[in-house]
Structure formats: structure tokens, C-alpha cells
Amino acid sequence: MLAERRKLTTNPLTSTEGVALQVDDVYVPLGLVERKKQSKRQGDVSPEQGSELYKETEITKTFEHDAFLEEVLKQKNTPKSQGKRIAIIGEPGAGKTTLLQQIADWVSREIHQSIVIWVSLADLREKELKSYLFETWLTQVAEKKGKAEATKQLKDNFVALFKQNNVWLLLDGLDEMSASNPLTEIARQFREGGLISQARIVLTCRVNLWDGSINALDDFDTYRSLDFSYPQQVERFIDKWFAAIPEIGKQLCTALKKSGKERIQDLVKNPLRLTLLCLNWQSGDGKLPDTQAGLYQQFVDDFYKWKKEEFATNSHQRQQLNIKLGELAKEAIDKEATRFRLREDFVNHFLGYVDDENSLLKLALKLGWVNCVGIDTNRKPVYSFFHASFQEYFAATAIDDWHFFLDHVPKNPSQGTYRIFDPQWKQTILLWLGREEENLKDKKQQFVDALVNFKDGCDKGNRENVDKGFYEYRAYFLAAAGIAEFRGYSRADEILAQIVKSGFGYFNINKQEWTEFIDPIQEETRSVLQQTDRTKAISTLVQLLQSTNVSDFTRRLAAYSLEEIDPGNEIAISALVQLLQSTNVSDSTRRQAAESLGKIRTDNEIAITALVQLLQSTNLDDSIRKLAADSLGGIDPGNEIAIAALAQLLQSTNLDDETRWQAAESLGKIGMGNEKAIAALVRLLQSINVDDNTRRQIAQSLRQIGTGNPEVITALVQLLQSPDVDDNTRIQTISSLGKIGTDNEIAIAALVQILQSNHLDDSILWPAALSLGMIATGNKKAIAALMQLLQSNDVNDFTRSQAASSLGHIDPGNEIAITALVQLLQSTTVDHTRLQAAQTLGHIDPGNEIAIATLVQLLQSTNVDNSTRTQATSSLRQIDPGNKIAIIALVQLLQSENVDESTRWQAAESLGQIGTGNEIAITALVQLLQSTDLHDSTRWQAVSSLGQIGTSNKFAITALVQLLHSQDVDDDTLCQTALSLWEIDTGNENAIAALMHLLQSSNVSDFNRKHAAFSLGKILQNNKDRFEAVKALSGYWRLNNNYYYYLAWECSQNMTYPDFYQAWHQHNFATRAMRSLKKILFTRI
């Protein structure tokens, strides 16, 4: 059932040109987007940085395609879900579905016993995911097997697969679900879906929806599909496309490089738009459009030419079809339940009936503009545009009056139209602004003017760091994005200047100092810079970098933004290089410039050349050269120029040790398998003129790039056997051999020799045992050496435990290793050694009762330190989750009068890790909360643990509600209680009420008021609650408090403007009415 998923979604339209790409033909680069969670124990932050308590999204790691599949999906190496919950987000046409197709194929092939189920979420319509799986999907499986319906045996087998954790749910198009808030709805279905929670889930979603409800699925690890880099990946795609006619492809690459085509270069970094461009170029006249709308329009025009032979149409048919497709698209986007999956009767209203050979629907189906994508619950067809982006384009062509997007009624917004604030209309608005019809020019000017001049009527307060209302900013930001499409707008430079001012601050003439705007405004503004006219944005930022009035912090932000806006821009790179060389900026600013250069798309030749020139310059001090070397370490794995420059730097005799160390580290990052890099590092390793610190770094770098290389292994063995190296260098060398020497006899022999040595202490022996366990699987000499070490009386227990662990890895089931660990557990009294031995035994002999009993004993002991107890809990969770004896032991610790507060705190924390759903654990934590002599930190931890293990438990919910109403709870615990209550009983009004009370109280600390605002920002998930929050906030607005602003900003990003306006002004309505009544009465008297 997955076979059809291997074709690209664009193939139905490209096959007529002889192009039918498979999923493997498209490379989708991914960046990990990690949401930072505030730690309770991190202390306060300044009001100017208050948004640190709120969402913060940044790319922290970039994956090559194969590395993503291996590390994230197979090794489950993810920060939140251990690979169980993966979200792939991206812009329209960014390749999300393509990647999901690749994942489907790869998981089926590479992960043993996996059952991959693909669900297009738009197909659910009114049905829930669990029902869809057990009814619709399973019925399809039965039909494939020749059965009319799913038998009981088939259903039982299906349930068993879930319980065995073999099911993968690939959920495509979360943004296309028929729900007012798809993220909240699917999160509810995951929570209440029973077996679904045991599946591994990978879903796709448009980034605007995902970021608009950032906390709804915050247990997912989130990966964003990045654009192609230009020119490298764009040209690589073009080369593949035109593989049969390479000259045509070269002509397109040349045309893209011409001056004035910077915008189109940027546009085609999107995979779908690049596909359209290649199609256009293949059949067109060699002209490139300037805007997204121009690109789509060119495709639509040419499309009919391509289909001419197959489906001949006349101009009247084409015109009528385009008009009706536009009307259909516009109406569908305006109705959330039918936005992308369209009911038959809805489509019939615009296009006619499918059984009418002369209908527009029949024509649209033949051409491929519209496709039947399934059936609804009434077994009637469901239709869709071939891609949502084209639906948005057709909708844009159906709109002539900009008032359709904005019809402002200042005193009564409920009577107005504000589609400018609806996320689903943003792309259509941008496409409308890019339309090239002459009669729209004045209308577009008027529309952007209206955005720029929009007044929301919600007082912004008397503050220097805010100069617009909440929705005024949103309108202005849309205008900034719009000028990238409407290039003829007369006030574009003014908008860019204001955007840079909001994002980076301004020089306050009166105060003679640099003034910055409040954090949410700065963050959103810097995001908008990536969407606006990039040429103008880069020019403005470069001016900011070169200004003498700005702070170093502002320069760092500008450098970071240049990196984000256009990673390959020559002007940006030149400005960053100048900043790196400047003697008038701080070291931290210079480091940011170097870091930004290092992150500029990994294969950018201009940045590499600039950094190499810095390395080779004789007029710069070593600190700048060190920064350049560091940047090269992140910029381009395998780049020959960078590797040669770093290798040459290593050979320099005029280099300080720190810079040489940095060059060695950078070579270790980019020189994988490169002979020049390896040779340079080996030569330096053998040199007598390097210090031990540099030699250790070389060993570490060779560990990264020299896997299996005989020369590297020989050099490391020689270093290991040298009498002139210190122990730290010897340990690093042993570690490196354990990484790169798999099955290498020389490396294994060297490590065995260490184990058999009589003059080396345990600090050298246990790393050697560890490395042998990594590289010597099945090797008889290694097995014999480890067994001999186990039986030695001259090594400590920790080394003996490590030897047993390694023996278990290279000789699974080895009875001597298991026996030795059991004896070690029974003989040693050292807690750390017992813990290590129990962990090892649990891994090499899963279910070993002695290992589990030892871990439980460690939990029960009142004499172990908290670190040991934490590790014991973690080990139990891995080898025997939910162990009832362990839970009882922890409960006894909680209830004991003979333990100190720290131990009780640790027991509460440990229950939060292993006691999920356990009634005894939940009851114990609830009883702990009811204690009158409990330390605040322990009560906080008990509340936090209940939030982790007490989902839907009525006893836990009642206890937390009672705690919220208690007069004896500190504010910090009160905030955590509200959060935990929300986690185990989503939607509980008591949580919101408590936080609102805390926010409004005059008797709480600034930090806890800030924490309350942060917590409310996390749990406010519906309009009703946001309405109440805004109503309360507006009454305290004159307090000029930043914490209120952050929460109000969060609400404004998720509420309709009329609702926000009403809530904001509601507290004044009664006051004004009373004044009016008094005035009338006074006049009559």
C-alpha cells in the first residue's frame, strides 16, 4: 500500500514532459528546531529579556539526509521523545511529503518488523484517527487479502502489533485536518487513543500552523525542512532534472545567475517552485519571472500548452476554468472545514458534475488541476487541488478588491473584515500582491498603505520600547513581507527602516543611548526580515553593522540575522569578514561574526574563500586566525580548499598552541576520510614540537575522521606505546582506537597489551577495557584478556565491572561475565560500583533478578547519595520500567521519618520517572502534598511528579485543585501546580483561574509573576480563556508591566482581532455606561 507513495507529488503534472522523479531523486536538507524549556532552578532574568520565559525557536543542528534517518529514526537520538514523536514542518512546497515518502520506504526496509501506516490527515474529515485505522484502513487491508471486511483475527493481530511497538504512523498534512485547531485536536486524539500512544509517530505540518500553536504538541521533536541552498543544491537539482539534455540545464543555471535575478534565486530554493521553474524552462522561451505569482502564472499559461496534445482546450474554456477554479479556491480557504479537501457537492456548485462530459469539473480532472483523493463517510468523492499552493494561487486570481482582505471598522471591529490576521490567507495575500496586472497597481499601493497605517485601537501603553499596538505590528509585518512581492511599492525603504529599527533598536537622541524594543517585537521582526525584500534588508543590516552608534550586542544580532536572511550573499559575507577583522568591536562580537560565517550554508565557496584568506594572512593576530579556523570547522565537510588551508596552518612554525589546537579540531570536523587532512594530523601527532594538549586534540580529531585508516591506527598505537606521553593523552588515544579500530588486529593487540600490563593503574585499564568492548566483537584474544582481567585481584571493582560489560558486548551471553557481575554485586559495598555492575548486568542479561534487586536496594538505602539514587532510578526505568518493588521502596522513603529532606525530594523526583499511572505512587505523592511540615522545594517536586504520572487520575486532580486554593503554598509551587494540573487534566479551569489570580496579585515576587505569565502562555489554548486573560490584562495595562505585555502579545498572536478588541475594551464599557448615566441624570436634575 506504500508503493504509490514513492512517486513525487508533482509527477502527475510533469510526466507529460518525460520527467517522473522518484523520492530518492530529491534531497531534503533538514534542520533540528528545538524548543527550549525553562528550568525551575535557573534564577531570574531581567525584564528586558522576559521573553526567555516564552517560546524560543532556533535551528540547533543540521542533518544530512542519511544522518537524519540513521540518528533520529533508527538510533532514536532525539532530545524529547527518544524518536517516538517526530514532527516535520516547513513552508508550502518545501518537500515535507517527499521526505515522509522517503521515511516510509526507509523504515519499511531498514527497521526490522516495522509496520508502516500512511494516513493523509485530510482524509479523516469527521472521523477520528483511531476509528480510521481500525475501520477504514484495516478494511482496505482485508480487501487486499480478498476479504470483504476485517476479521476478528485480523483486528487482534493489529492490536498485537501496536502492543509490540512495531507500528509506525506516518501522518501527512496536519494543517489540512478539518478542525478549528488541528494541533489541539490531534493532541487530544493521541492522548485518548489508547493503542495509538504505543505507535511511533511522524507527522508533517506547515510551519505557520505549527508555530501558531507552539505548545499543543510540545512532546514532539521538531524538524524543519530547510530550503535548498543557492547555487549548490539548486543547481544539483537542475542537473538531475535535465540529465538527458544537460545544455538546457546549464542555460537555466546561467540565467539564474544574471544580475537582477536575486529574488527568483531565492524563490526557487523552495523545491516545488524549483520544479515549476524547470518545467517552464523546458518548454518555454527562456525568460525568468520576478515573483511567486509570476512563476505560478507562467506555469499556468504553459501548462495548457503542455496538455494541448492530450486535452485540447480553447481560450474560452481556459478562461472559464481559471475563473471558477479561483472562486472554488477562494471559498474553500474561507471555510476551515473544507479548505483543502473538498466535498463533492461543494465542488459541484462551482465546476458542475463529473458525469457531465462538458462540465468544468470533468475538464479540471482531465487536466490534473483537481483530483479525486478519496471518499467521505457517505461514500461520495472528495476532491483536492493537485497542491495546496496552487489552490492559494487560484484564490489570489479571484480577488480584485483588497477590501476582501481588510475592511477596517475602527470603533466596531466585529463589523469589519480582517483576513490579514488569518494565517491561512497569508500566502494568498502575498500571491495577490505579486500579480502583475496593470489595473491592480494602485489597488496594491492602497492595500499596503492600509497595512502600514492600520490602527488597532488597543492602547500600547506609555513606553519607549513599544511603538505600535499588537495588531498594528501584525499588519506592518505583513506589509514588510508583501513588498518582496510588490516591488513597486513607493514606501518600501521606509518599511525596511522601521523593521530594522524594531528588530535592532535605535539611537535615542534625547538620551544619547541605544534603545531596544521589547523582546517579542525584536524576535518577530527579525523573523520578518527573512520574508521581506532581501536585497534591501541586507543593505540595511550592513549599514547597521558599520554604524559607530550601535551597541556590540546589536551588531551581534545583525550578524546573526545576515546569516539567517541570505547565507550566500556576497555583501553579507564581506560585512562579516570586515567585522571579524575590526579592532573596534568586542571579542564576543567578533566571535559572533565568525560563528555566522561558519553557519553560512555549509558549501558556500565565497565564505570559505574569505575564511581561508584570513588564515593565510600574515597581518592578523592569532586570535582572529583561531576564529577563522573555528568557522571553517563548521562550514563544509570535505571541502578541499578549507582542508588544505587548515593543513597548511598546522605546519606553520609561527603559530601559538591554542590556534594550532583549534585548526586540529576543525580538521576533525570537516576532514572525514580526507587523505590530506589525515596526513597533516598524523605528521603533527608524530612531531616533538607540540604540547600534550594539542596532541590530545589531534588524537580526538583522528578519532572523528580516520575510521578504519591503517596509517591513523598505526600512528595512534605508536603514540600509545610511547613512554613520553602523559596519562590523559594515553586515555584519549585509547578512546580514539575504540572509535576507529573496529576489527583491526593492530588496535586490538595494542589494547590487549595494555590489559596484560603489570605497571598500569586502573585509570588506564578501564578505558582500554571499554574500547575493546567497542571494536573486538568475537575476537578470541580480546575475550581471553577481558576474562583474565575479571579474575585478577589487582584491579578495582569499577575496572572489573567495565571488563564484564565489554565482555558481554563482544561475547553475548558469556557466563563468566554474568557470574563475575553477580559475584561483584554480592561482594562489594561501594554504592557506585554496585550501581555500575547492576546497570551492566541489566544490559547484558535483561531481566536478571539480581541486577533488579540490587537497584531496588540502592533505592531503599538511606545512605546513598542523590546522584546514585537518580542513576539507579534511570537504570530501572530502562531495564524494568514500572517495577512495583522499586515504586514501593520509593514510597517508603517518602513516608519515612528517618530520611533528610534532600532524600525525600529525590524519592519524589524518582517516582515521577517510573511511576506512570501507578496508584500507589500517585497516592503517596498526594499524601506528601497534604503534609503540613513539608519543605517548599519537596512540595514543588511532588507537584511536578504528579504532572508526569497522574494523567486523568481523579485523586491527583482533586489534590492539585485543593492545593491551588490553599493559603499556605508558595507562589513558585502554585505556578507548577497549575501547570501540572493542566498536564493531567487539560482544560481545567482551576489552573487558569489560579494563574490569573497570581498574575494580578500585588503580593508576589516579580519572578513568580513572570512565571505565572509564562505558564498562562503555555496553557491558554482556547479563545474563551484568552478572552478572559486579555480582559484582565487591559485593566492592569497602566502598570506598564513587561510581564503583562508578553502574555498579551501571546494572546494577540492567537486571537481574532475583533475578539481581542472586545476583550481589551470590555472593562471600560461598564465605566463609560455609568458615566453616561450620571451625566443624563445630572442634566435632568
The domain spans of the chain are 3-226, 236-395, 602-741, 963-1084
pLDDT of residue 674: 77
Q: In 3-state terms, what secondary structure has residue 257?
A: helix
Please give the DSSP secondary-structure letter assigned to residue 123: G
Task: Determine the angle formed by the axes of helices 519-528 and 470-482, rounding to 10 degrees.
Answer: 20
Rounded-to-integer distance, Cα 998 and Cα 1004, Å: 7
Mean pLDDT value of segment 360-389: 81
Q: Does 28 score more than 60 pLDDT?
A: no
Q: What confidence score (pLDDT) does residue 44 get?
A: 29
Q: Which of 284, 283, 278 is nearest to 252 (CA)?
A: 278
DSSP three-state, residue 605: helix
Is residue 56's pLDDT more than 90? no
The confidence score (pLDDT) of residue 455 equals: 95
Q: Which of 149-163, 428-442, 561-575, 969-983 is most confident?
A: 428-442
Indicate the SS3 state at residue 304: helix
Least confident of 487-501, 609-623, 804-818: 609-623
* Helix, strand, or coil (residue 34): strand
- Secondary structure (3-state) at 287: coil
My answer on whether omega of the bond before 767 falls inside 30° of 0, hence cis, is no
Q: What letter would DSSP give residue 61?
A: E
pLDDT at res. 568: 60
Highest mean pLDDT among 146-160, 546-560, 643-657, 848-862: 146-160
Q: Which residue has the cell 494541448?
A: 308
pLDDT in tens, 113-132: 889 999 988 888 778 899 88
pLDDT recorded at residue 681? 83
Amino acid letter, residue 245: I
Whether residue 57 is predicted with pLDDT greater than 60 in this model: the reply is: no
For cell 582481567, name the residue. Answer: 789
Please give the average per-residue pLDDT across 285-294, as a whole number. Answer: 77
Domains 3-226 and 602-741 share a fold: no
Distance CA 1006, CA 995 (A): 14
Q: pLDDT band at 432, cuts 50/70/90?
A: very high
Per mean pLDDT, which range of 328-337, 479-488, 607-616, 794-803 is the poorest? 607-616
Residue 46 pLDDT: 28
The whole-angstrom separation of Cα 507 and Cα 958 is 54
Q: Has residue 555 got a pLDDT over 90? A: no
| Residue 400 host element (H or E) | none
Q: Quick one: pLDDT at residue 38?
A: 29
How open is the CA angle 818-824-827, to the nearest 5 degrees? 140
Predicted local distance difference test score (pLDDT) of residue 260: 57
Greatest mean pLDDT among 83-97, 483-497, 959-973: 483-497
pLDDT (0 to 100) of residue 397: 95
Query: Which of these, 997, 993, 999, 1001, lies nearest to 1025 by C-alpha position?
Result: 993
- pLDDT given for residue 1070 in this prediction: 47
At residue 472, the pLDDT reads 94
Q: CA-CA distance, 464 to 516, in Å (whole number)? A: 9
The pLDDT-based confidence of 765 (bands split at 50, 70, 90) is: very high
Q: Is the pLDDT of residue 443 over 80?
A: yes
835 vs 520: which has the higher pLDDT:
520
Report CA-CA distances (Å) from 1061 to 260, 718, 916, 1047, 1067.
43, 75, 43, 15, 11
Backbone angles phi, psi at 63, to 5 degrees: -110, 135
CA distance 179 to 682: 61
| Residue with the larger pLDDT of the pair 511 and 1076 | 511
Kindly report, residue by residue over 193-231, the tens digit of the pLDDT: 888 888 999 999 877 677 654 457 888 988 888 778 888
Q: What percent of the chain has pLDDT over 90?
A: 16
Residue-level pLDDT at 309: 63
Domain 3-226 fold is Rossmann fold (3.40.50)
Average pLDDT over residues 155-171: 89
Cα separation of the two ends of the chain: 84
C-alpha separations of 82 from 71, 691, 931 in Å: 10, 40, 36
pLDDT in tens, 909-923: 888 888 888 899 999
Residue with the bigger pLDDT between 597 and 260: it is 597
Can you say whether the dihedral through the CA atoms of 1032, 1037, 1042, 1046 is positive or negative?
positive
Alpha helices in 242-291 (DSSP H): 246-257, 262-267, 271-283
How many whole angstroms separate alpha carbon 131 and alpha carbon 155? 12
**Is the pTM value of this prediction over 0.85?**
no
CATH architecture for the domain at 602-741: Alpha Horseshoe (1.25)
> Among 187-201, 326-340, 414-428, 542-556, whose mean pLDDT is lowest?
542-556
| Residue 862: pLDDT over 60 | yes
pLDDT in tens, 255-267: 888 765 766 787 7
Please say if the pLDDT value at position 528 is more than 80. yes
Strands 30-35 and 57-63: antiparallel
> With bands split at pLDDT 50, 70 and 90, how would you rate the model's confidence at 399?
very high
The per-residue pLDDT of the chain, averaged, comes to: 79
Q: For the segment 1014-1037, what is each residue's pLDDT rounded down to a tens digit?
A: 778 777 778 888 888 888 777 665
pLDDT for residue 487? 86
Asked whether residue 53 carries a pLDDT value surpassing 80, the answer given is no
Higher pLDDT residue, 173 or 691?
173
pLDDT beyond 50 at 1039 = no
The confidence score (pLDDT) of residue 241 equals: 85
The proportion of the chain whose per-residue pLDDT surpasses 70, expressed as a percent, equals 81
In the predicted model, what is the mean pLDDT of residues 985-1006?
75
pLDDT at 185 over 70: yes
pLDDT tens string 71-113: 888 888 888 888 999 999 887 777 888 889 888 988 988 888 8
pLDDT given at position 707 = 82
Run of H or E residues at 715: helix 710-721
Q: What's residue 819's pLDDT?
A: 81
Determine the Cα angle at 876 with ends 874 and 877, to 5°. 65
For the ranges 182-186, 240-244, 269-273, 791-795, which has the lowest average pLDDT?
Answer: 269-273
